[in-house]
Amino acid sequence: MSTDQADTVLTGTLPVVALVGRPNVGKSTLFNVLTRTRDAIVADRPGVTRDRHHGVCRTFSRPFLLVDTGGLSEFEQELPKLAARQAEAAIVEADVVVFVLDARDGLTPYDRQISQALRRAGKRVLLAVNKTDGLDEDIASAEFSELGLGEGLALAASHNRGVTSLGEAIVDALPPQGEEASDNDPDRLRIAIIGRPNVGKSTLVNRLLGEERVVASDEPGTTRDAIRVPFERDGRRYLLIDTAGIRRRGRVDDAVEKFSVIKTLQAMEQAQIALVLIDAHEGVTDQDATVLGHALDAGSALVVVVNKWDGLKPDEREQVEQQLDRKLAFVSWAETVFISARHGSGLGELMKAISRAHASATFEFNTHELTDVMNLAFESAQPPLVRGRTAKLRYAHQGGRTPPRIVLHGNRLATLPESYKRYLENFLRRHYRLVGTPVRLEFRDGD
């Protein structure tokens, strides 16, 4: 959810693009170039665990989900068997496979093996011939045409060369865009329920649907589509985007298990708000923090839902609460609710937190008031001098919604220290009581 209109337009399921190739050809370099976020504010904050293998590329005319299959398994050394298995795993899920090759090494036996696997699967494959910097591009790519997978696209990922052409070729190769889902009713709040396996996602879905369960509108087509279930509660209409109910497509192995991140990202993309479930009996795990990192990247409104709050002794509860404070400090703006999906307790609080988060994410700021509030922030705590001079605010306005984007205009604002920028964000949050959504502050000088 990154555009201003995102709360009324459903983008459909994000297509999946897999980067495949043997180690060291430059997959992760390419991955980083393609998924690099435009947004400095999303930059790493302490405690965020980043997943360097799954990301969304929004640079070209259509967004797509990119998966770097390299390093997805712990058995890195087990080559070439692994390379073949990775290719297989990627093939299962991907709409397009980008097969990355190393122009300096030339064609190797591993490459041939991967190529065979790809050809058998009959997927759309693009050849990316990397590390062509300092080489003749035509000669470098010609060698790989013998694979029978078409023309190679010359690339130098680490020099950001050829990346735009590759991106455009990827978008051209994607299957046609699906219809907008028929249940995309703007009055329904779309909620994704996400979290690692066994935290209680299915139990919560069933609990929320209760007796009123409507037959799941399990859309035909690819089985990786999340199941979308409309429901009503207290007169409000919702659409649950359920990642738990997703069936596996075809035969999979353990490497593919990791691909569930794909469902999470796709569900988040379709939703206006994400419920990130955590299992109180297990505590906050690294995987939970990674899921939250994805939510941060997506700019999602979110509620942290601590499930299985039943059956815990008071000291155990206290322990979980301390852990939440410590490990999830990077999303301190998110509300935490404690529920038992099994017993149905805490759901009222959960629904309230959902509506507060949604209200915050879609809030419309009045420019005058916003400017006054930000001026007050500057007066309440003088900004530190920037090269001996004071930063000055002229005015502030809203640049977008979901999540709110606040643009501050003035002098020497951009170079304010991070700590002061965070103070400004917190001041804004307190004044407007914004919870459950990221807020992005942008600083523009001298215009």
Task: List contacts with ligand GDP (CB under 6 A).
Answer: 21, 23-29, 70, 130-131, 133, 156-159, 195, 197-203, 244, 307-308, 310-311, 340-342
Q: Which residues of 351-381 are buried (b: 16+ CB within 10 A; e: fewer)?
A: bebbebbbebbbbebeeeebbebbeebbeee
Whose Cβ is closer to ligand GDP: residue 345's or residue 362's? 345
The CA-based dihedral angle spanning residues 288, 291, 296, 300, taken in that order and rounded to the nearest 10 degrees: -110
Contact criterion met (CB below 8 Å) for 440 and 406 = yes
User: Rounded to the nearest whole angstrom, what is the least distance from the CB of residue 52 to ligand GDP in the complex?
Assistant: 9
> Is 201 flagged in the annotation as binding?
yes
E strand or H helix at 189, and its extent?
Answer: strand 189-194
Q: Whose CA is closest to 172, among 147, 153, 144?
A: 153
Q: Is 129 annotated for ligand binding?
A: no
- Nearest approach, Cβ of 27 to ligand GDP (angstroms)? 3
Cβ distance to ligand GDP smaller for residue 22 or 409: 22
Between 307 and 360, name the residue whose CB sits nearer to ligand GDP: 307
Nearer residue to ligand GDP within complex by CB, 342 or 429: 342
| Strand 301-307 versus strand 335-338 pairing type | parallel
Min dist. Cβ of residue 170 to ligand GDP (A): 17
Q: Give me the least distance between CB of 374 and ligand GDP, in Å please.
A: 42
445 is in an annotated binding site: no
Of residues 141 and 402, the one with the C-beta less far from ligand GDP: 141
Residue 47 is encoded by which pair of tokens? 């405690």
Is 23 known to sit in a ligand binding site? yes
- Kind and range of the H or E element at 50? none
Any binding-site annotation on 352?
Answer: no
Determine whether the annotation assigns residue 69 to a binding site: yes
**Alpha helices per DSSP H over 328-366:** 347-361
Nearer to ligand GDP, 105 or 318 (CB): 105
- For residue 275, which of 376, 378, 349, 329 has the smallest C-alpha distance? 349
- For the bound state, the minimum distance from the C-beta of residue 172 to ligand GDP, rounded and expressed in Å, comes to 22
SS3 content of the chain, % helix, strand, coil (to 5): 35, 20, 40
Q: How far is the CB of 263 from ligand GDP (least distance, A)?
A: 12
Is 243 marked as binding a ligand? Answer: yes
Positions at the binding site for GTP:
21-28, 68-72, 130-133, 195-202, 242-246, 307-310
Query: Which residues are annotated as part of the binding site?
Result: 21-28, 68-72, 130-133, 195-202, 242-246, 307-310
